[in-house]
């Protein structure tokens, strides 16, 4: 590998990862454009159309061999089924929050997510974390308590999002390189097809399906749900293969920052003083968390240089 190629690989990784997080950041605006489609119908179409899009990708990229390998491994099939259930919960809660005027609370969930990931590493993978990381965890916990007590509202949307996505990430880490991004999303969507079909039937029998009932533009926008779901996930996978997790950890704050600004500035969601206090505490926790990452990276580089001398 030439020096130019070595430098270009991390740069491309940052571009891929940042693109994924920017797309996730603007998703609330896209889903709001789908009105009058409700959250249950949107998620159902999201599952069905993601599956169709992944089938096309597998055909174009000739990835069916990878799928066949996974199908012969029951353990991997089980993990993809569990991952599918978790990402379904995440998608459904996110849509319920977005379409009920709670975009700010969805942002809170993704602000807390890196700290949730740290806790999962401690309690599930038995990893040891540094003192500053414990400080960040403590401040984040205080922030949640403040929001519950002072704002008198349990942030179930935020906590459900961070828990489901955190455990989803843990499973993706566990199955690692054995399941590539396209194969993983294909199987996750496949396992969710029965749930999606049931939801579409129930919506059809109650409020009525909106697909095709609100003009061509609306139908095209709703039909784009599969692409809007799959593309950021594929960009994210491409980015994580090229840069280290410390960089990814800092880039991922793009999504909740954008969602927070959309909720407050664009949608004018209420932000009373109690809620601001909770968010400021979360941001302090994030600042401590990022500072720890930077300090650890600096120490690692110093040790590496010393080893070369």
Low-confidence ranges of the chain (pLDDT < 70): 1-9, 151, 241, 244-250, 309
Per-residue model confidence as pLDDT tens digits over 257-276: 899 999 999 999 988 888 88
- pLDDT value of residue 93: 96
- pLDDT value of residue 52: 94
Count structural domains, the chain: 1
Domain assignment of residue 14, given as a range: 3-308
Per-residue model confidence as pLDDT tens digits over 42-72: 999 999 999 999 999 999 988 899 899 999 9
- pLDDT value of residue 258: 92
Supply the Cα-derived Rg of the chain in whole angstroms.
20
- pLDDT value of residue 129: 76
- pLDDT value of residue 245: 57
- Which tokens is 76 given? 């991997």
- pLDDT value of residue 141: 84
CA angle 222, 225, 230 (to 5 degrees): 170
């Amino acid at each position: 590998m030439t020096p130019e190629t070595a430098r270009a690989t991390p740069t491309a990784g940052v571009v891929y990862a940042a693109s994924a997080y920017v797309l996730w950041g603007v998703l609330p605006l896209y889903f709001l454009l789908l009105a009058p489609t409700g959250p249950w119908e949107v998620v159902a179409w999201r599952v069905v159309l993601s599956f169709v899009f992944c089938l096309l990708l597998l055909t174009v990229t000739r990835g069916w061999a990878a799928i066949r390998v996974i199908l012969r491994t029951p353990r991997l099939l089980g993990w993809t089924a569990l991952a599918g259930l978790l990402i379904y919960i995440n998608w459904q809660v996110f849509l319920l929050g977005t379409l009920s005027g709670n975009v700010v609370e969805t942002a809170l969930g993704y602000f807390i997510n890196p700290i949730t990931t740290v806790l999962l590493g401690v309690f599930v993978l038995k990893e040891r974390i540094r003192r500053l990381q414990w400080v960040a965890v403590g401040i984040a916990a205080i922030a949640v308590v403040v929001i519950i007590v002072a704002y008198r509202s349990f942030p179930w949307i935020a906590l459900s999002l961070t828990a489901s996505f955190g455990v989803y990430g843990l499973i993706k880490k566990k199955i690692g390189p054995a399941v590539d991004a396209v194969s993983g999303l294909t199987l996750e969507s496949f396992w969710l097809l029965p749930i999606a079909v049931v939801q579409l039937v129930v919506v059809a029998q109650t409020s009525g399906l909106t697909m095709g009932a609100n003009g061509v533009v609306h139908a095209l926008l709703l039909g784009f749900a599969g692409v809007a779901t799959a593309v950021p996930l594929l960009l994210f996978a491409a980015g994580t293969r090229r840069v280290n997790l410390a960089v990814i950890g800092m880039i991922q704050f793009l999504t909740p920052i954008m969602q927070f600004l959309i909720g407050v500035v664009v949608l004018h969601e209420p932000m009373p003083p109690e809620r601001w206090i909770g968010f400021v505490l979360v941001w302090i926790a994030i600042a401590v968390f990022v500072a720890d990452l930077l300090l650890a990276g600096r120490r690692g580089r110093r040790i590496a240089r010393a080893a070369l001398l």
